[in-house]
Amino acid sequence: MTKPNLSSCLLFAGLAAAAAAGCHHKKGQVNTACYHPTPLGTLSDPVWQQQESNAEASDFVIHEHEWNDNTVELNNAGQDHVKQIAARVNSVPFPVIIQQSSMTVDPDSTYGYPVNGNEGLDMQRRLLVVQALAQMGIPNAEQRVVVGPALTPGFESFEGERAYNAGFGGRAWGQGYGRGFGGGFGGGFGGF
């Protein structure tokens, strides 16, 4: 019978010690046997859901451009919007927001530029929307309709022009309709 040499005994002792350590890991290293990942979307889904909720709330803002100038009369788009709001308002927790006016002329101003708010006009607009929603069968319209700033900022004129041009033949993605990915009308990847 042969005697075990010293190196074999040391190797065996080292392996036994490592096996007894279990999930132990050195500083800066992770033993993947102890790691249990969370399901996909655990961190990102709440972010997307919050963005979706915020976007839904902005559907219930009646913007300043939905009124005929500085009047208490909704234009056609505004009337349609109020009807859409009435169809959905009972199924959501969001308030109906009348965007504050910002294009009234101050009679005491030197130059008469239409750059001022008008609280009286805002309250008259609110009353009109409350009455319209009540006529369409919304029982708590008085509590749901408020005056305040829009939830999202609008375009400045140069931003609107740039977006319009990008969609209709400008030098942007796809150069207008029908020229995006896939080559449509000889473009392929937007004609770059």
Query: pLDDT digits over 140-160, tens only?
Result: 999 999 999 999 877 778 888
What confidence score (pLDDT) does residue 146 get? 97
Residue type at 35 in one-letter notation: Y
Does residue 177 belong to any structural domain of this protein?
no
Parallel, antiparallel or unpaired: strands 61-62 and 96-99 = parallel
Does residue 143 belong to any structural domain of this protein?
yes
What confidence score (pLDDT) does residue 28 get? 66
Secondary structure class of 155 (helix, strand, coil):
coil
What confidence score (pLDDT) does residue 25 get? 54
CA–CA gap between residue 34 and residue 69 (Å, rounded) = 66
Give backbone dihedrals phi and psi of 156, rounded to 5 degrees, phi first.
-75, 165
What confidence score (pLDDT) does residue 27 get? 67
What confidence score (pLDDT) does residue 71 get? 95
Q: What is the number of domains present in the chain? A: 1
What is the pTM (predicted TM-score) of this model?
0.64
What confidence score (pLDDT) does residue 109 get? 86
Does residue 120 belong to any structural domain of this protein?
yes
Residue among 147, 149, 156 nearest 121 (CA): 147
Which regions in the chain score pLDDT beneath 70? 1-4, 6-33, 169-192
Residue type at 184 in one-letter notation: G
Task: Give the start-end residues of each E strand in the chain.
Answer: 61-62, 96-99, 104-105, 114-116, 145-148
Neighbours of 180 (CB within 10 A): 17
Does residue 168 belong to any structural domain of this protein?
no
Domain span at residue 78?
60-148
Does residue 138 belong to any structural domain of this protein?
yes
What confidence score (pLDDT) does residue 187 get? 46
What confidence score (pLDDT) does residue 189 get? 45
CA–CA gap between residue 169 and residue 164 (Å, rounded) = 9
- Per DSSP, the chain holds a count of helices (H) and strands (E) of 6, 5
For tokens 């859409």, what's the residue? 84
Does residue 116 belong to any structural domain of this protein?
yes
Parallel, antiparallel or unpaired: strands 104-105 and 114-116 = antiparallel
Does residue 134 belong to any structural domain of this protein?
yes
CA–CA gap between residue 30 and residue 36 (Å, rounded) = 12
Secondary structure class of 96 (helix, strand, coil):
strand
Sign, CA torsion 33/36/41/43? negative
CATH number, domain of 70, equals 3.30.1330.60
Does residue 126 belong to any structural domain of this protein?
yes
The pair of structure tokens assigned to 144 is: 């749901």
